[in-house]
Amino acid sequence: MMKSAEVLRLEQVFKSFRATLRGGPPIQILEGIDLSLERSTSIAITGNSGSGKSTLLQISAGLMQCDSGRVWFEEQEISALGDDKLSQLRSHSMGFIFQNSLLLDDFTALENVQIPSMIAGKSEKQAKNLAMEMLTTVGMQDRLHHTSDQLSGGERQRVAIARALVNNPSVIFADEPTGSLDEQNASLVEDLLFSLVQQQQVALMLITHNYSFAQRCDVVYHLHDRKVEVSS
């Protein structure tokens, strides 16, 4: 059961994947994961490649089902929700940033940021105004009508941050958001992400290999041998 300050809670979450060899035993990825995220706070999940960090994020956001255990988001048990309600929850209450910006190639920066608001039920005019405001906030007001192939990697990630925050979500799920950037752009994106998360009082779950990036979060967890522990 969730505590009042929590926006996300995982209890005894297990996840395995079918072995690639036919007849092989399942490969256990997560084992008895207990984790919580309070409103307006940030947690980082670190760990080696293949340790299950992205799997943990996807289960937390309802993008993947766990084998057993329970996941609550905003006092709703995710596993009990149908596809429509889960999609609605993600649209209104979650924002996503990935290593690759995943912008729609044929759309402008403005159009890419408009789309989540229109999916959430805003009119085209409302969505456009919100997108322009958010893109201005991330310093992209001079790139509104540029398509993704006309933007640098750092600029694309700034658009992705604007898209993630445009619906004022409760939680941002960020999976290696600076993993494809050079050191200078990575630092700029880190600063921007934490600044906006604090300004909008959004909770953050960050997946990263970069320990200095992780250390900026309120709590750092390390995923190792299928379990999470608070990193010292």
Instruction: Please tell me the distance from the alpha carbon of residue 162 to that of residue 113, in angstroms, as a whole number.
Output: 7
List, for residues 183-229, the tens digit of each pLDDT value: 999 999 999 999 999 999 999 999 999 999 999 999 999 999 999 99
SS3 label, residue 152: coil
List, for residues 22-79, the tens digit of each pLDDT value: 767 888 999 999 999 999 999 999 999 889 999 999 999 999 999 999 999 999 999 8
pLDDT at 19 over 80: no
pLDDT at 117 over 80: yes
| 58 touches 171 (CB < 8 A) | no
Tell me 108's DSSP state: B
In a domain, 47, yes or no: yes
Confidence of residue 5 (pLDDT cuts 50, 70, 90): confident
Which sign, positive or negative, has the C-alpha torsion 214, 220, 224, 227? negative
SS3 label, residue 55: helix
Confidence of residue 93 (pLDDT cuts 50, 70, 90): very high
pLDDT higher for 5 or 137? Answer: 137
Q: How distant is the alpha carbon of residue 100 from its chain centre?
A: 12
In a domain, 1, yes or no: no
pLDDT at 119 over 90: yes
Number of domains into which the chain is organized: 1
In the chain, where do the E strands start and end?
6-17, 27-38, 42-46, 68-73, 76-77, 94-98, 171-175, 203-207, 219-224, 227-230
In a domain, 192, yes or no: yes
Q: How distant is the alpha carbon of residue 38 from its chain centre?
A: 15
By residue range, what is the domain housing residue 225?
A: 6-230
CATH of the domain at 222: 3.40.50.300
pLDDT at 2 over 70: no
Residue 206, both tokens: 């960050």
In a domain, 130, yes or no: yes
Instruction: Please tell me the distance from the alpha carbon of residue 11 to that of residue 72, in angstroms, as a whole number.
Output: 9
In a domain, 141, yes or no: yes
List, for residues 141-186, the tens digit of each pLDDT value: 999 999 999 999 999 999 999 999 999 999 999 999 999 999 999 9
At residue 46's C-alpha, the angle toward residues 41 and 47, to 5°, is: 160
